[in-house]
Amino acid sequence: MFKYEDSHIINERGKAMDVSGGVDSDNRNIIMWNKHNGLNQQWDIVYVDEMKAEPKKGEMNDDFNLVVDRPFHIKSMMKSGRYLDRVGNNVVLKTPNNRPTQVWYFHQYSRTIRNKYQNYSFNIDSNGRSNNLSVTSTNSNWW
């Protein structure tokens, strides 16, 4: 499970989503790392529809700080402002390109962040004990 908190996306073990090595370039792997508040760990949730009113499809999940089923981009706060993108089963940093592989949403039932291209959810390899972040098919609850 992941939670958006103070510009960080953190897992249940307290590790933060991190641009590997802090290098601001396309195709840079995204990993999970100890939180250190560097820009390579800070993210902005940008909802695709940029609605100012309450969302029609869902409500804010206060436990996860994400609106249910409302598409969003995950934008790096590093200088380039690149987005998280799904390439195969890897999660990487990419220049915005309007592809569905860069659109994500919070799925209430499984309590996961999923990719709009296919319903693949964030996954930390080795049952959460690895630093490697990937995406995998999600068909059930993850808690």
* pLDDT tens-place string over residues 7-44: 999 988 889 999 999 999 999 989 999 999 999 999 99
How far, in Å, CA of 108 to CA of 112, rounded?
A: 7
Its pTM stands at 0.67
Q: Which two tokens stand for residue 112?
A: 């996961």
In sequence order, the 6+-apart residues with CB closer than 8 A to the CB of 17 are 2, 8, 9, 10, 30, 31, 32, 41, 43, 133
| Helix/strand/coil (H/E/C) assignment for every residue in 34-90 | ECCCCHHHCEEEEECCCCCCCCCCCCEECCCCEEECCCEEEEECCCCCCEEEEECCE
Domain ranges of the chain: 2-137
In sequence order, the 6+-apart residues with CB closer than 8 A to the CB of 27 are 87, 92, 93, 94
Between 8-12, 90-94, 122-126, 136-140, the lowest mean confidence (pLDDT) is in 136-140
Task: Find tokens 């989503």 and name the residue.
Answer: 17
Kindly report the length of the chain.
143
pLDDT > 50? residue 131: yes
pLDDT, the chain, mean: 84
pLDDT value, residue 72: 93
pLDDT value, residue 56: 41
pLDDT digits (tens, 9 = 90+) for 95-116: 999 899 999 999 887 888 999 8
pLDDT > 90 in the chain, percent:
49
How far, in Å, CA of 132 to CA of 18, rounded?
A: 10
Confidence of residue 118 (pLDDT cuts 50, 70, 90): confident
CATH of 2-137, one of 3.40.50.1820, 3.40.50.300, 2.80.10.50, 2.30.30.20: 2.80.10.50
pLDDT value, residue 129: 74
